Structure 1
Amino acid sequence: MEGKDIVVTGGLGFIGSHIVDELVENNRVTVTDNFSSGKIDNLKYPNHENLKIIKGDLNDLDLDKILKGTDYVFHLAALASVPESVEKPLFSNENNLDGSLKLFVAAKNNNVKKVVFSSSAAIYGENPNIPLKETEPYMPESPYAVQKAGSELYLKAFNESYGLNYVSLRYFNVFGPKQNINSSYAAVIPNFIYGLLNGRQPTIFGDGEQTRDFIYVKDIVRANILACESDYNGIVNIASGNGLSINQLYDIITEVLGSDIKPIYEDERIGDIKHSIADISNQKNIGFTVDSNNFKNQLKETIKWFMDNPQ
């Protein structure tokens, strides 16, 4: 992708900053971020001549002005926490659904060519039909999941009503460099790494037999760009298609680190899902594939980043 005018909401966050880093050298990129979890330090080129950073919430910004002349929008801004959405559903809804709707209206008003929305596998809930297909019904078990589902539905309606092109990418468990240990995106990996590097016993919630489908952040970046450049409108699971239990994950990380520290087990958390594995057959619609054999090397890259950037 080259020579485009692009807006990245939440562009200072974990995933958003990786997307900005990839795009900013060959495109004009505007980032919106309220700095609640994102930070300038996440960017590789914070002073790049092609980069403009606007501080503020989507609900407060003049989005029509920001999106004027924009080719593509990557929408990642969100209060991305299941527990916090349970504790503060109104606040979470304002950030995740109201802000998204305002953005979609501005995208429609300004003839944006495509919106790529960062959705979540949380919308599947405790669906037993593993692996999970995009055609499965919404079964949200938290306000956060409801808000992601609502944004997906708004995009579908905007496509049918106004011709706004979109792809909703349902991320499963994302990990990689720059991940905050307090992030809800697969926070289990940075917490395991951070704890073990500091000689502490990490916590596993529940019995550790819950399964997750992990996906590397650099694959997420590639999926976003491919989705943007594709002719596809709809929903795509972004995952490896392979399930890994939290206990298995812990064993792999301790093996890579050469650690013999044992974890602490605590009660499972409200809203957490037992099993989550994706059907990835729909990824062909955007030309995306994942090399699932590279997982251990990706973990090593992530561990190296944490060693070089102690939090």
Structure 2
Amino acid sequence: MPGTPAVPIAGNRFCIVGGASLVGSATAGELLDHGAAEVVLFDNFAFGSDAAIEHLKDHPRLRLVRGDVMRMADLLRATEGMAGVLQLAAYMTLSMDRDPWGGLDVNIRGVQNALEACRANKVAKMVFASSNATYGYGPGVAGDLVEGTPFHSAGAPPAAILYGASKIIGEQLCRDAYRKWGQDYVVLRYSTVYGERQHYRAANALYIIETYDAVKRGEAPQVFGDGSETKHFVYVGDLARANRMAFESAATDVAVNASGPAPITTLELVKLVTQLAGGGPEPRFVGSEPGKVRLTSGGAFRIAHEEAFRAIGWKPEVDMAEGLRRLITWRERSNASGR
């Protein structure tokens, strides 16, 4: 309905910027399953992959558009006639470490470009994929991380701080667009995403994949430090549902966390992956690797998701054991088929 921030899925068209990705492909499937008239996956394939969208490529209501978030003309064509835009395109921490200037361009100017395209094409609502990196890293990150938690940067790797700061700026660009021309939006601060079609881009998600790979080779998986460090993951299917519900809800001008049911320590994670992979050697405790970006927190923390339930009616449903089971099942089927 015109004039309301709620955008029904059925019968509407959506563009996913950065769509050839783990979250993009899962969200496309979610929107199509709920009756979207068309879903456009917009990607330049710098980080996205054909493998991530292989299962969707023949869907009659899905369209793939190759384009770059840094080229306004590409975005204007891709978002024409869309009711909603999901802005996913971004450099993550590991990519930011390799190319900080490119990362700042995409994570800041790219978001502004997407917002300008939404304004030009009268897109009803944008959902922006932010991150729990907006709370920072290091000793100050502990306890319940709620939406008003300040940014902590002391002692963290520069790439991680650049990534988190770029997401903060992206959120403020959304707020600015809402205040200046009434562009409705919802910001979802994702915790670390994992699930089927897992990629190797996310620094924290590497714990899962590297542990699985080591166990399948018969090697001892590595645990950094004493294994007590906290991580908070969210299953990709839950996140796809959060993206859909953000469009459908009447919420606007809000930023909320989208995290999994509960945090987990690195030792618990490694043991769980080992068990689900069929067992293997006991984990090996190691120190940090020189030159490798690792994201650490100062103590036990939980990324609180209660505000997301109040704002858009969402809460996570898939716990870590079930999500990992699904990821490993997919991985083993992929390996068996030679993909």
Shift of 1:40: 2.3
Q: TM-score, normalised by structure 2?
A: 0.85
The aligned counterpart of 2:85 is 73
Q: One-letter code of the match for 1:272?
A: L
Shift of 1:202: 3.2
Aligned counterparts of 1:185 and 1:71: Cα–Cα separation in 2: 33
The aligned counterpart of 1:254 is 274
Aligned counterparts of 1:100 and 1:202: Cα–Cα separation in 2: 38
The aligned counterpart of 1:232 is 251
| Conserved 8 A contact 1:8-1:16 | yes
The aligned counterpart of 2:145 is 132
What SS class does the counterpart of residue 131 from structure 1 fall into?
A: strand
The aligned counterpart of 1:31 is 41
Q: One-letter code of the match for 1:65?
A: R
| Conserved 8 A contact 2:203-2:293 | no
- Show the 5 A alignment for 1:1-311: 1-24=9-32, 26-27=35-36, 28-43=38-53, 44-62=55-73, 63-80=75-92, 82-126=93-137, 127-139=140-152, 142-184=161-203, 186-233=205-252, 234-264=254-284, 265-267=286-288, 269-270=292-293, 272-274=295-297, 275=299, 276-284=301-309, 285-291=311-317, 294-310=319-335
Aligned counterparts of 1:137 and 1:283: Cα–Cα separation in 2: 18
RMSD: 2.0
| Conserved 8 A contact 2:43-2:67 | yes
Q: TM-score, normalised by structure 1?
A: 0.92
The 3 A distance-change label for structure 1 pair 270 and 41 is closer
Runs of 4+ in 1 over 6 A off after TM superposition: none
Asked which structure has the greater RCO (Cα within 8 Å, sep 6+), the reply is 2
Shift of 1:56: 2.4
Aligned counterparts of 2:68 and 2:99: Cα–Cα separation in 1: 17
Shift of 1:132: 0.3
| Conserved 8 A contact 2:95-2:201 | no
Aligned counterparts of 1:8 and 1:129: Cα–Cα separation in 2: 33
Q: One-letter code of the match for 1:78?
A: A
Aligned counterparts of 1:37 and 1:226: Cα–Cα separation in 2: 26
Q: One-letter code of the match for 2:99?
A: K
| Conserved 8 A contact 1:172-1:238 | yes
| Conserved 8 A contact 2:16-2:42 | yes
Aligned counterparts of 1:223 and 1:156: Cα–Cα separation in 2: 20
| Conserved 8 A contact 2:141-2:152 | no
Structure 2 unaligned blocks of 5 or more: 1-8
What SS class does the counterpart of residue 204 from structure 1 fall into?
A: strand
Q: One-letter code of the match for 1:66?
A: A
| Conserved 8 A contact 1:213-1:242 | yes
The aligned counterpart of 2:4 is none
Q: One-letter code of the match for 2:102?
A: F
